[in-house]
Structure 1
């Protein structure tokens, strides 16, 4: 079997895509067993060696909520941050921001909800109250010179509320961007989006003043739609795509959420489309096989499976 797809360039698609690697944070936070700090640090190093330039390192949340990432401060101490690479961390509140600043982080993220029910379940706030919670964190981070990413979860559907109106999701995103966030990541937390729905949400964001140059997409592959949805986003001009090495991940607060879009599957598609991304696929596959060994199960990535000898 060939190790690279045939390239057929589509001139209507972006020339380059930035892959925002979320495996070390979003991928590992859903593991039942805690991964040792040394393994996490090596995972980040291996991903960097593979050519990834944006590596979401960890989450500075209270260990009670995400015990798998309770070692965040230790990881940030031992991690060798390479020049030119970006190591964002999730900071849900001002206490998390304090820890991020102490660790020398210069890129943080907040995590909001597009729906009332998930806001209450995940943040213990109403849809409107969540903004009051985020505003001090975002304002201070911007004042301190940090870049702030805004994640919005349940953008395309919610397990309790069903489908989400694109304008409602876009409204949440727009309010976060107005606070000073520099990028908006639209999350299909339970993987129910389809391509036309993706286009509708992106159009709704643009109508509220958030153009595709400031938008990233974050798809889960619950129903096998992650790549199709990514392609739809690329056709709308999106150039930042979240992905997780080996397809690791899920959501600890949404039981139906399965793994993220696998970075290897994304890279294979981008290679076939002639879109530059800077990632060495073979090195990335080796990294995911290595991590799968530590986790004790095979990677769910189709490309990892196809390129790994039995």
Structure 2
């Protein structure tokens, strides 16, 4: 039994900024390999405008293919009530509703204010069946590419409204730009957990733009967070956050926790093999360190016993 949960977001966050379209069949094959490595909770795509993010235009097809992949627990990202309804109609069992704390980023991303997105979230909750799982992604919880560091009280104030709407929803604080630091991550999670003890599960979505992705994951773990987003091969980079590079690499997160003696349930060798393929995707922006380290030789980084 693993002590934490790693959510693989490469098939959504990792692919969305890639220009050359990845054939749907290849996406499904990579999903199968990720599941074979032990990654079962996977963000397979998003229901968004195909003109804004053409790489995501086949999300409904990939969602349908998940019916033949019993190990995969798919979740899809949605930015509005309309897109959430579309995802539920397509059979999505879990929705990830995203909105930004930052006014500038939310308007750049979805053309509305954070308060208007909160209203969309509340309408979506009222419109979908009760058995559809909900996760809330709070983008720019720490930092915004346009406004800079976000005051902690601003994030907490928006959470006050959102938690009230659905206390049982998993809530993910997102370092959209990768400019958060471990002290900031620890402080915000500590305050959020004290302010909202009714939240059943907290998660962290970390980017590695400045090389602090793993340090931020560790800081959140020390504050009791047990759900972490990561992207195989460190693929990623938000198209709506200029300068942001990839997510923290899944293989790096697995390596760190396993070295710490914290079980992840992931087969690192199998994961590294699929990460190598992910890093070779045309147009992809990869990152991470463990993939290269394990390629240096069989004993270069032997696991702790």
Give the TM-score of the pair, scaled to structure 1.
0.89
- How far has the Cα of 1:79 moved from its partner? 3.3
Out of 70, 83, 100, the position equivalent to 2:57 is 70
| Structure 2: tracts of 5 or more residues without a match | 298-305
| Residue of structure 2 equivalent to 1:92 | 79
Q: Deviations over 1:12-68 (max 9, x none)?
A: xxx711001100011100112111100111111110000012111110111122111
2:123 counterpart of 1:136: yes
Q: Deviations over 1:188-207 (max 9, x none)?
A: 00111111101111122123
**After TM superposition, what 4+ stretches of structure 1 lie above 3 angstroms from structure 2?**
79-85, 210-213, 296-299
Moved more, 277-286 or 161-170: 161-170
The question of whether the paired residues in 2 share the 8 Å contact of 1:122 and 1:253 is answered with yes
| Residue of structure 2 equivalent to 1:308 | 295
**Residues in 2 aligned to 1:298 and 1:199: alpha-carbon distance in whole angstroms:** 28
Out of 232, 238, 243, the position equivalent to 1:245 is 232
| Residue of structure 2 equivalent to 1:179 | 165
| Residue of structure 2 equivalent to 1:147 | 133
**Residues in 1 aligned to 2:3 and 2:108: alpha-carbon distance in whole angstroms:** 37
| Residue of structure 1 equivalent to 2:10 | 23
Partner of 2:180, secondary structure, is coil
Partner of 1:88, secondary structure, is strand
Moved more, 294-303 or 113-122: 294-303
**Residues in 1 aligned to 2:144 and 2:285: alpha-carbon distance in whole angstroms:** 29
Moved more, 38-47 or 197-206: 197-206
- How far has the Cα of 1:104 moved from its partner? 1.8
**Residues in 1 aligned to 2:285 and 2:173: alpha-carbon distance in whole angstroms:** 28
2:94 counterpart of 1:115: no
Partner of 1:76, secondary structure, is helix
Q: Deviations over 1:79-132 (max 9, x none)?
A: 345435410011222332233223222111111111111122112112322211
Partner of 1:83, secondary structure, is coil
- How far has the Cα of 1:212 moved from its partner? 7.3
| Structure 1: tracts of 5 or more residues without a match | 1-14
| Residue of structure 2 equivalent to 1:204 | 191
2:278 counterpart of 1:291: yes
**Residues in 2 aligned to 1:211 and 1:52: alpha-carbon distance in whole angstroms:** 28
Cα root mean square deviation, aligned? 1.9
- How far has the Cα of 1:159 moved from its partner? 1.9
**CA gap 1:213/1:269 in 2 versus in 1, 3 angstroms:** farther
| Residue of structure 2 equivalent to 1:164 | 150
| Residue of structure 1 equivalent to 2:252 | 265
Aligned residues: 295
| Residue of structure 2 equivalent to 1:6 | none
| Residue of structure 2 equivalent to 1:10 | none
The question of whether the paired residues in 2 share the 8 Å contact of 1:213 and 1:237 is answered with no
Out of 32, 43, 53, the position equivalent to 1:56 is 43
**Residues in 1 aligned to 2:286 and 2:30: alpha-carbon distance in whole angstroms:** 14
**CA gap 1:186/1:211 in 2 versus in 1, 3 angstroms:** farther
